[in-house]
Structure 1
Amino acid sequence: MEPQHISRNHFIKSASVLLAGGSGILNVPENVSRERTLPAQNKRSYTLKNVRLETGFEYDPEGEVTGTRTDLFCIEVHEGKIKGILANKPAADAIDAKGLLMLPPFRDMHIHLDKTFYGLPWKAKSAKNRTVKDMIAYEQQIIPELLKTSVPRTEKLIELLQSYGTNYARSHVNIEPTSGLNSLKNLQKALENKKDSFQAELVAFPQHGIYYTKSEGLMKDAAQMDIDFIGGLDPTSIDGGIEKHMDFIIQLALDNNKGIDIHLHEGGESGMKTIQYLIDKVNESPVLKGRTFVSHSFALANLDKGKTEEVAQQLANAKIGIASTIPFGGTIMPIPVLYKHGVDVVTGNDCIVDWWSTFGSGSILQKANLAAQLYGYRTEFDLSRILKLATHNVLPLDDKGSRSWPKAGDPADMVLIEASCSAEAVSRVSPVKSLIHRGNIVF
Structure 2
Amino acid sequence: METTYSVLSKDRYIIKNALLEIAFIADEAGIIGTQTDLFCIVIEAGKIAKVLPNNEELTDAIDAKGLLILPAFKDMHVHLDKTLYGLPWQALSPSRKTVQDMIAYEQEIIPKLLKTSTHRAELLINLLQNYGTTFARTHFNVDNTSGLRSLENLQKALDNKKDSFKAELVAFPQHGLYYTDSASLMKEVAQLDSVDFIGGLDPFGIDNAIEKAVDFTVELALDNNKGIDIHLHDAGEEGIRTIEYLAEQVLLNTELKGRTFVSHAFALAHLQSQKLAKIAEKLAAAEVGIVSSIPFRSTVMPIPALLKYGVNVLVGNDNVQDYWSTFGSGNMLQKANLIAQLYGWVTEFELSRSLRFATHNRLPLDDNGNRQWPKTGDEAELVLIEADCSAEAVSRLSKIVAFMHEGNLYWKN
TM range, smaller chain: over 0.9
Q: Distance in 2 between matches of 1:309 and 1:266?
A: 19
Q: What is aligned with 2:309? A: 341
Which residue of 36, 39, 51 maps to 1:70?
36
Query: How many residues are paired up?
Result: 409
Q: State the 1:125 CA deviation.
A: 1.2
Secondary structure at the aligned position of 2:82 is classed as coil
Q: What is aligned with 1:415? A: 383
Q: Distance in 1 between matches of 2:98 and 2:88?
A: 24
Q: Distance in 2 between matches of 1:292 and 1:409?
A: 28
Structure 2: segments with no counterpart, 5+ residues = none
Which residue of 246, 266, 278 maps to 2:214?
246
Q: Distance in 2 between matches of 1:82 and 1:71?
A: 18
Secondary structure at the aligned position of 1:77 is classed as strand
Q: What is aligned with 1:439? A: 407
Q: Distance in 1 between matches of 2:266 and 2:310?
A: 19
1:78-104 CA-to-partner distances (Å, cap 9, x unmatched) read: 111111111111111211101000000
Which residue of 2, 7, 27 maps to 1:60?
27
Q: What is aligned with 2:72? A: 105
Which residue of 45, 51, 57 maps to 1:85?
51
Whichever residue aligns with residue 176 of structure 2, its letter is G
Which residue of 175, 198, 205 maps to 1:230?
198
Which residue of 33, 39, 64 maps to 2:3?
33
Secondary structure at the aligned position of 1:239 is classed as coil
Aligned residues: percent identity?
61
Which residue of 230, 253, 275 maps to 1:262?
230
Whichever residue aligns with residue 88 of structure 2, its letter is P
Q: Which runs of 4+ in 1 moved over 4 A?
A: none
Q: State the 1:40 CA deviation.
A: 2.4
Q: State the 1:348 CA deviation.
A: 0.5
Q: State the 1:442 CA deviation.
A: 2.5
* CA root-mean-square deviation: 1.0
Q: State the 1:205 CA deviation.
A: 0.2
Q: What is aligned with 1:306? A: 274
Q: Distance in 1 between matches of 2:108 and 2:201?
A: 20
Tell me, yes or no, if the aligned pair for 2:85 and 2:123 is still in contact at 8 Å: yes
Q: What is aligned with 1:208? A: 175
Q: Distance in 1 between matches of 2:35 and 2:400?
A: 20
Secondary structure at the aligned position of 1:235 is classed as coil
1:63-86 CA-to-partner distances (Å, cap 9, x unmatched) read: x11100000001111111111111
Tell me, yes or no, if the aligned pair for 2:77 and 2:137 is still in contact at 8 Å: yes
Q: State the 1:45 CA deviation.
A: 1.2
2:164 is the alignment partner of 1:194? no
Q: What is aligned with 2:91? A: 124
**TM-score, normalisation: structure 2:** 0.98
Tell me, yes or no, if the aligned pair for 1:110 and 1:347 is still in contact at 8 Å: yes
Secondary structure at the aligned position of 1:236 is classed as coil
Structure that is richer in strand per residue: 2
Q: Distance in 2 between matches of 1:107 and 1:192?
A: 18
Q: Which moved more, 1:118-127 or 1:264-273?
A: 118-127
Tell me, yes or no, if the aligned pair for 2:68 and 2:388 is still in contact at 8 Å: yes
Structure 1 residues 12-27: aligned runs within 5 Å: none
Tell me, yes or no, if the aligned pair for 1:293 and 1:321 is still in contact at 8 Å: yes
Tell me, yes or no, if the aligned pair for 1:328 and 1:374 is still in contact at 8 Å: no
Whichever residue aligns with residue 132 of structure 1, its letter is V
Tell me, yes or no, if the aligned pair for 1:366 and 1:426 is still in contact at 8 Å: yes
Secondary structure at the aligned position of 1:162 is classed as helix
Tell me, yes or no, if the aligned pair for 2:9 and 2:407 is still in contact at 8 Å: no
Q: What is aligned with 2:185? A: 218
